[in-house]
Homo-oligomer: A and B are copies of this chain.
């Protein structure tokens, strides 16, 4: 009799597989208030590593971290017309504080453009104060009607960057810099997720932006996930909040602004990009635990050896965990590490010791073979880099294999509904075709230029729309 699978197979029911994996790998639980989530230690460990890698890139881009309040006066949101229209339906409103009804209700931030501009307008006086480059790691709240853990949650964790610049060009270039050198670099080189970099159509733009740059990843079921966005805000918010500066020439000028965000949704993207029927597969450069050293049995020589291997690998710069919980059956522990997607398992039992070897099980490339214990410290960094590259290749191959070039709106919808993406000339599709697709829950994920770069305007000649269903 075949063993019952640990997870619902992907091919049977992808959303169910996703939820199973999150439960069994102990990544998260649903919170008691609808749409909220509890991020468990292993899931939070993934997010912490994302934060570290992102934070280093954000700082390298010159932005400094700061913290703005959770509570925003309701009136602030109404100052930018499109912004309030976009966010009003999703707001959580605090009406009582300290046992009393508040004179003005406050909203829990859905994003911080408004409150941050209130301070930018005080801090920015002269051209010398620009560019002002701020980032914030915070929780935000957007009331979700159809919540799904990590992907759409009422509360989520994210970073939001907010900047002010002296000129349109400087703001535009900075938004593009974040898009390419922070987000794409992180997603491709750490998350090992292939992303298409493009420009949102006016319909899909952030509420209050004049241009939204996006990174779209293809998940295991062929649907798209918006992994992060970088917006040019033009002078929309600086007008609303009077964020002006005195130029070198002595004139009062409006500041040009950007904002950009990425969130715990990336954890969902990680799962749906790299997971398989045995569980998660974590790219080595991200993995909080890159290698686990398992004692098969609790005898003293084995326990001493796994600890020694752990120390040697740590010294070689590998993030290691030693699993010496031999009161839990070995098989159960092995399945658990597989579920959690730790890239490499090193298994040591009494017979291995005699032979001077350990079993090396590779979660990403697959396979299991004996290797000499002395060679592990040299071998592992190479194995991990191989596996990192393999994950990115698999992600890229999938996107290429499941994207087709089409020339009609009907074909585009068919491709999307068959679990893939379509490329269609934007001149053929247009905003009307986009509206037709929307009726079938198919959307333009982004526009790309003819040469694959990011279009510089909404109507760049030769631009191609990438179309698909999305999370």
Query: Which residues from chain A sit less than 8 Å from chain B, CB to CB?
Result: 29, 31-33, 36-41, 44-45, 47-48, 64-73, 76, 88-99, 105-106, 108, 115, 118-119, 122, 128, 134, 138-139, 141, 143-145, 154-155, 157, 327-328
Contact = CB atoms under 8 A, between A and B. Distances in A.
Closest 6 CB pairs of A and B: A98-B143, A36-B69, A41-B64, A31-B69, A39-B67, A93-B96
Given A41-B65, A157-B67, A143 B97 contact: yes
Most B CB within 10 A of own CB, among A73, A96, A105? A96
A96 B70 CA distance: 16
A66 B94 contact: no
Contacts of A105: 96
A32 B143 contact: no
A71 B38 contact: no
Contacts of A65: 41, 44-45, 48
Given A92-B94, A119-B38, A128-B327, A32 B139 contact: no
Nearest to A99: B89
Nearest to A55: B48
Given A33-B106, A97-B154, 17 more contacts: A31-B71, A31-B115, A32-B115, A36-B70, A38-B66, A38-B69, A44-B67, A45-B64, A69-B155, A70-B155, A71-B154, A71-B155, A89-B99, A90-B98, A93-B94, A96-B105, A98-B144
19 contacts: A29-B119, A33-B71, A37-B69, A38-B67, A38-B69, A38-B119, A39-B68, A41-B65, A41-B134, A44-B65, A44-B66, A44-B67, A69-B155, A71-B154, A93-B97, A96-B105, A98-B144, A128-B327, A138-B139
A45 B67 CA distance: 10
Given A64-B41, A99-B89, A108-B108, A69 B145 contact: no
A99 to B, nearest CB: 5
Contacts of A76: 32
Contacts of A91: 96-99
B95 A95 contact: yes
Give the secondary structure class of A's interface.
mixed
Most B CB within 10 A of own CB, among A38, A45, A97, A144? A97
A99 B92 contact: no
A119 B171 CA distance: 45
Contact of A89 (B39, B98, B108): B98
A88 B99 contact: yes
A44 B73 CA distance: 23
Contacts of A327: 128
A421 to B, nearest CB: 31
A215 to B, nearest CB: 24
Contacts of A39: 66-68
Contacts of A157: 67
Nearest to A93: B96
A96 B106 contact: no
